[in-house]
């Protein structure tokens, strides 16, 4: 008996064959057993015909088959990859992977194409599960690891700093690529790379940068490092106390407020867990030490999607809000595993594109070879027992010549039992103690202080084990014996993967499940834990590659083969714990009204992900009420295509240059229908190669007509582009776009002489004016100040031409601008889309931060009075701003002035 799906596929194939036998001869009528099957059969026949290229045999008109083919590609569809896990009496849906290759047409599908996932029984009578989803947009590609020459340690340019890294001469490729941003700038940075990539040293670059600035007096030395768990915080404290203790006071927070306040006041490198820093920093308005943090380092930021990740999210959001409130930059450096949506995390912490490094999982300083083996035994304990022999085999095969092997097991009990079993296997096969790399006499001396008799026995066999139940002394002895090469094998409970640095040549993960007491069932390790375990298989400067063997339940093998080799996305869990954090903020006075609560949420990672993945957060769109967004307002006002405004928004960045502005303008949908006619290719190619120079007597009049059509749309497209840029607050780019509007209107480049705007002027005349003896003529105003006779002698042109130039002088704008700064308590945000009029742009900006603060389109007749409102800096004191008056048509008449605003102290509010 075939499976139901196979039976349906077979019936569809038979039906297609019968239809093909009669097509073209007779009409065919197909009966199905239910109305539901009608569309399925029709779609199956159509898809088979498309696949076999036989659709034209069903139609009299061949062109119709091509139209049907095109429309079929627009049909909503998705490829589904289902991961199931079988149990004795039930089937569990473990995962569902959907990807769609359909051609998305906005006019057909609207703004969103939702899907419903429905799981039915074999008879299609009962719905077992249903779920609504919207396929999210594709993630940005990962960062490419550049083929750079590895940076020497001497690049630190400080003998004291270089001495910290005397163990090696060069930084690894990942450290080399991120070095400049971390060590030579103060920008916030996200470094996402696999475990074992040397990310801790990347964070140390930022610490050394901060110390340099503190020594020179540019900044204070107050660095906060956040470790996700207590064990990792203790390890980092031990490491950095030895490394940085000579020139910075390293402290670890205890969780007791009184003691921690003293540590915070005296410490220069403060190490904490998220919970401790949350408790200490929530009263940041009263604690100036929190406001004085200059560098905030967050380790393992990908754990924001874990059960306790909401605390991590809250403290990072708080530090960004503190920086905004006090007007002082707090640099955030985040370290993470490879992520699919790293761009969202980077933007959340304030990292720009040049501070975002998201390397793919395969990029490791020491390449990792992964083997996944399945054990098909249902009972958990029996399966764990059966994995002991494959573990021993993996060690003997992949960790030859005494190379260290690290074995992870679920619990303390399994750590002890697995260590004993490995000792028994080694004794039974070859006799002796092959895993003991030191002498037995040495081992007796090392184990003198150990009270656990089982541990003493296994250590003498060359096998140690680690778990939280051992004393600190016992854990330290086992760790040092393993790192020192006295024992070859160390068996560790799963939680140890976060708390200790145990680099090994081979890592064996024995079982991928642990017992969850809350669920009263065995649950899979989080993917983050598995990746952390795998990351221990890395010994830079010692191995050319590491190895990892994962022993799992057989049905889970395909699951891990798929997901362990891909970067994973992270989502916020804050919405599950929001009431606790909101309550804390209300108590300390940060949230006092509804608007404060909304402002608080806008700093969170959850706020950024709500619209990106609404299904995850159970958001339901309100279909009855619509209101336009900013881009829609701009597109409607300037009467341009929504695809054009969307392209402007997605392609424009703060770093776009003039060439990029031209390319983006040329990509507008308004120009999509301009044809390239036969015979024009060579002429257009010549034009492209020499676009800076005009071409005399064009061969084809059609191109001149195309130029006129292009210029008709160019003016409003450029105005829309300015509004899109202004909405992002990019000052320099907005000014460049305004200058581009001038150049397009005049048909000139900004590097050309402004005198070429005058009628009958050539480059020769412009050069003659610039070389004029006595007075150099560089601007139109310089020429207009000359007498008629002087001008005629200089230019040597006819009276008619002279008269046209004089008429141009009368039209050319000569603007006198005066301004005043009015103080007021009523500060309001301006519209994102100022009501546009033709003529001039009036812009207020902060050139030091490249921030556009206010913009307005104005028309100048004889006289105009314009009022611009903008939000000044939040900190008290004098602040310099620039005011620009930019023409949209003429080159050389723009004006700019500097003015100062004195912001008064409002009593701390």
pLDDT given for residue 601 in this prediction: 93
Q: Residue 36: pLDDT band by 50, 70, 90 thresholds? A: low
User: What whole-number percentage of the chain has pLDDT above 90?
Assistant: 30
Sign, CA torsion 697/700/704/705: positive
Higher pLDDT, 340 or 781: 340
Per the CB < 8 A criterion, the answer to whether 376 and 554 are in contact is yes
Inform me whether the pLDDT recorded for 569 exceeds 70: yes
Q: Which of 748, 731, 750 is nearest to 851 (CA)?
A: 731
**3-state secondary structure at position 304:** helix
Q: Which pLDDT score, from 0 to 100, does residue 83 have?
A: 45
Element (H, E) at 422: helix 412-430
For 177-326, where are the E strands, in sequence order?
189-192, 223-226, 250-252, 269-272, 295-298
pLDDT, one tens digit per residue, over 169-211 is 999 999 999 999 999 999 999 999 998 889 999 999 999 999 9
List C-alpha distances in Å: 211 to 158, 161, 207: 12, 10, 6
Quick one: pLDDT band at residue 762, thresholds 50, 70, 90?
Answer: confident
The two counts, helices (H) then strands (E), for the chain are 35, 23
Give the angle 54-55-61 at the CA atoms, nearest 5°. Answer: 120
pLDDT of residue 113: 62
Q: How confident is the model at residue 87 (pLDDT cuts 50, 70, 90)?
A: very low
Sort strands 114-120 and 269-272 into parallel, antiparallel or unpaired: unpaired
For range 517-522, the mean pLDDT: 76
**Over residues 307-315, mean pLDDT:** 92
Helix 230-244 and helix 199-216, axial crossing angle in degrees, nearest 10: 50
Is residue 625 exposed (0-12), middle (13-18) or buried (19+ Cβ within 10 Å)? exposed
Tell me the β-bridge partners of 133.
115
342 within 8 A of 308, measured Cβ to Cβ: no
Higher pLDDT, 409 or 904: 409
78 confidence band (pLDDT: 50, 70, 90): low
Rounded CA separation 385/566 (Å): 30
Q: What is the pLDDT of residue 279?
A: 87
| Residue pLDDT, tens place only, 256-268 | 888 889 999 999 9
Name all domains of the chain by residue range, CATH numbers in brackets: 4-73 (no CATH), 79-134 (2.60.40.150), 186-358 (3.40.50.300), 368-563 (3.40.50.300), 630-811 (1.10.3380.10)
- Please say if the pLDDT value at position 731 is more than 80: yes
CA dihedral 740, 741, 745, 750 (to 10 degrees): -30
Tell me what the pLDDT averaged over the chain comes to. Answer: 81
At residue 206, the pLDDT reads: 96
φ, ψ for residue 370, nearest 5 deg: -115, 130
pLDDT band with cut points at 50, 70 and 90 for residue 71: low
Is residue 850 within 8 Å of 654, Cβ to Cβ?
Answer: yes
Give the pLDDT mean for 571-577: 89
**Which pLDDT value is given to residue 250?**
95
The pLDDT assigned to 634 comes to 82
Using CA atoms, how far residue 705 sits from 467, 639, 675, 702, 833, in Å, is 80, 22, 11, 5, 33
Contact criterion met (CB below 8 Å) for 302 and 607: no
pLDDT the model gives residue 34:
65
Which has the higher per-residue pLDDT, 416 or 750? 416
8 Å CB contact between 886 and 840: yes
Q: CB atoms < 10 A from the CB of 524, how many?
A: 18
Comparison of pLDDT for 669 and 152, the residue scoring more: 152
CA distance 442 to 457: 14
Would you state the pLDDT for residue 3? 55
Query: In whole angstroms, what is the distance from residue 413 CA to residue 465 CA?
Result: 10
Start-to-end C-alpha separation, the chain: 77
Q: What is the DSSP letter of 355?
A: G
More confident residue, 563 or 306: 306
Of the two residues 341 and 90, the one the predictor is more confident about is 341
**Span 393-413, average pLDDT:** 92
* Residue scoring higher pLDDT (708 or 694): 708
CA 217 – CA 204 distance, rounded (Å): 20
> Which letter does DSSP use for residue 697 in this model?
S
pLDDT digits 0-9 by tens, 443-495? 888 888 888 889 999 998 999 999 888 888 899 999 999 999 999 999 999 88
b/e burial code for range 393-421 (CB count within 10 A of at least 16 → b): ebbbebbeeebbbbbbbbbbebbbbbbbb
The residue with greater pLDDT, 831 or 262, is 262
Q: How is residue 302 annotated by DSSP? A: G
Q: What is the CA radius of gyration of the chain?
A: 35
More confident residue, 542 or 432: 542
Q: What is the pTM of this model?
A: 0.58
Q: Per-residue pLDDT tens for 580-602?
A: 888 888 878 888 888 888 899 99
**688 CB neighbour count, 10 Å cutoff:** 8
Q: Which residues contact 646 (CB under 8 A, 6 or more apart)?
A: 631
Whether 104 shows a pLDDT value over 60: the answer reads no
pLDDT tops 70 at residue 624: no
359 pLDDT more than 90? yes
Which residues is 854 bridged to in the sheet? 844
pLDDT band at 842 (very low <50, low <70, confident <90, very high): confident
Handedness of CA 357, 360, 361, 362 (dihedral sign): negative
């Amino acid at each position: 008996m075939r499976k139901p799906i196979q039976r349906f596929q077979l019936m569809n194939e038979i039906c297609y064959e019968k239809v093909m036998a009669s097509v073209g001869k007779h009409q065919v009528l197909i009966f199905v057993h239910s109305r539901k099957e009608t569309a399925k059969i029709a779609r199956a026949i159509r898809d088979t015909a498309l696949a076999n290229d036989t659709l034209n045999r069903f139609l009299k008109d061949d062109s119709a088959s091509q139209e049907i083919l095109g429309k079929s590609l627009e049909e909503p569809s998705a490829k589904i990859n289902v991961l199931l896990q079988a149990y004795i009496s039930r089937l569990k849906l473990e995962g569902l992977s959907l990807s769609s290759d359909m051609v998305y047409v906005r006019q057909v599908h609207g703004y969103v194409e939702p899907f419903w996932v429905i799981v039915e029984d074999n008879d299609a009578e009962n719905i077992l599960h249903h779920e609504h989803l919207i396929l999210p947009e594709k993630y940005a590609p990962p960062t490419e690891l550049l083929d750079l020459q590895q940076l020497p340690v001497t690049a630190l340019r400080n003998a004291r700093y270089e001495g910290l890294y005397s163990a090696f001469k060069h930084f690894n490729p990942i450290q080399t690529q991120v070095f400049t941003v971390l060590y030579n700038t103060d920008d916030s940075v996200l470094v996402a790379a696999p475990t074992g990539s040397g990310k801790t040293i990347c964070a140390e670059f930022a610490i050394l940068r901060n110390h340099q600035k503190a020594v020179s007096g540019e900044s204070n030395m107050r660095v906060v490092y956040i470790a996700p768990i207590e064990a990792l915080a203790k390890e980092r404290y031990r490491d950095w106390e030895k490394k940085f203790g000579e020139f910075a006071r390293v402290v670890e927070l205890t969780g007791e407020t009184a003691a921690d306040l003293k540590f915070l006041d005296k410490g220069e490198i403060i190490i904490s867990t998220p919970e401790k820093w949350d408790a200490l920093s929530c009263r940041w308005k009263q604690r100036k030490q929190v406001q004085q943090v200059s560098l905030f380092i967050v380790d393992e930021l990908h754990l924001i999607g874990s059960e306790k990740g909401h605390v991590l999210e809250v403290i990072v959001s708080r530090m960004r809000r503190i920086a905004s409130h006090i007007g002082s930059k707090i640099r955030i450096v985040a370290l993470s595993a490879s992520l699919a949506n790293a761009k969202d995390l980077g933007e959340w912490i304030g990292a720009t594109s040049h501070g975002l490094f998201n390397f793919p999982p395969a990029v490791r300083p020491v390449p990792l070879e992964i083997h996944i083996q399945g054990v098909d035994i249902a009972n958990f304990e029996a399966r764990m027992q059966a994995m002991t022999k494959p573990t021993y085999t993996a060690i003997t095969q992949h960790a030859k010549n005494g190379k260290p092997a690290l074995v992870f097991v679920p619990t303390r009990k399994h750590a002890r039992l697995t260590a004993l079993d490995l000792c028994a296997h080694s004794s039974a096969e070859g006799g002796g103690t092959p895993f003991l790399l030191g002498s037995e006499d040495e081992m007796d001396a090392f184990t003198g202080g150990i009270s656990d008799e089982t541990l003493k026995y296994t250590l003498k066999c060359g096998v140690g084990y680690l778990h939280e139940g051992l004393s600190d002394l016992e854990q330290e002895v086992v760790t040092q014996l393993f790192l020192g090469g006295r024992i070859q094998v160390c068996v560790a409970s799963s939680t140890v993967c976060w708390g200790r640095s145990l680099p090994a040549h081979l890592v064996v993960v024995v079982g991928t499940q642990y017992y969850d007491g809350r669920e009263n069932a065995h649950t899979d390790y989080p993917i983050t834990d598995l990746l952390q375990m795998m990351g221990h298989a890395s010994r830079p400067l010692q191995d050319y590659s590491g190895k990892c063997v994962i022993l799992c339940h057989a049905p889970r093998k395909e699951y891990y083969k798929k997901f362990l080799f891909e970067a994973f996305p992270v989502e916020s869990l804050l919405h599950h714990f929001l009431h606790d954090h909101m309550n804390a903020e209300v108590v300390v006075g940060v949230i006092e009204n509804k608007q404060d609560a909304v402002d608080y949420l806008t700093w969170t990672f959850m706020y950024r992900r709500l619209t990106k993945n609404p299904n995850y957060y159970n958001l339901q769109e309100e279909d009855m009420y619509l209101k336009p967004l900013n881009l829609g307002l701009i597109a409607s006002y300037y009467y341009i295509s929504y695809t054009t405004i969307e392209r402007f928004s997605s392609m424009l960045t703060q770093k776009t240059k003039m060439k990029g502005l031209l390319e983006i303008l040329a990509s507008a949908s308004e120009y999509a229908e301009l044809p390239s006619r036969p015979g024009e290719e060579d002429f257009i190619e010549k034009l492209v190669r020499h676009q800076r120079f005009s071409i005399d007597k064009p061969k084809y009049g059609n191109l001149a007509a195309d130029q006129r059509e292009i210029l008709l749309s160019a003016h409003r497209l450029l105005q829309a582009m300015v509004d899109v840029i202004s909405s992002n607050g990019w000052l320099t780019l907005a000014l460049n776009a305004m200058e581009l509007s001038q150049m397009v209107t005049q048909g000139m480049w900004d590097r050309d002489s402004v005198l070429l705007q005058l009628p009958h002027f050539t480059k020769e005349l412009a050069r003659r004016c610039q070389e004029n003896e006595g007075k150099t003529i560089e601007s139109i105003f310089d020429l207009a100040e000359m007498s008629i006779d002087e001008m005629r002698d200089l230019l040597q042109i006819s009276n008619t031409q002279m008269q046209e130039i004089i008429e141009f002088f009368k039209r050319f704008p000569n603007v006198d601008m005066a301004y005043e700064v009015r103080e007021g308590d009523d500060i309001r945000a301006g519209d994102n889309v100022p009501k546009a009029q033709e003529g001039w742009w009036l812009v207020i900006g902060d050139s030091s931060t490249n921030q556009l603060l206010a913009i307005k389109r104005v028309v100048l007749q004889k006289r105009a009075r314009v009022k611009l409102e903008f939000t000044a800096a939040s900190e008290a004191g004098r602040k310099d701003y620039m005011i620009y008056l930019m023409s949209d048509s003429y080159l050389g008449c723009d004006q700019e002035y500097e003015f100062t605003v004195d912001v008064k102290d409002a009593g701390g509010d």
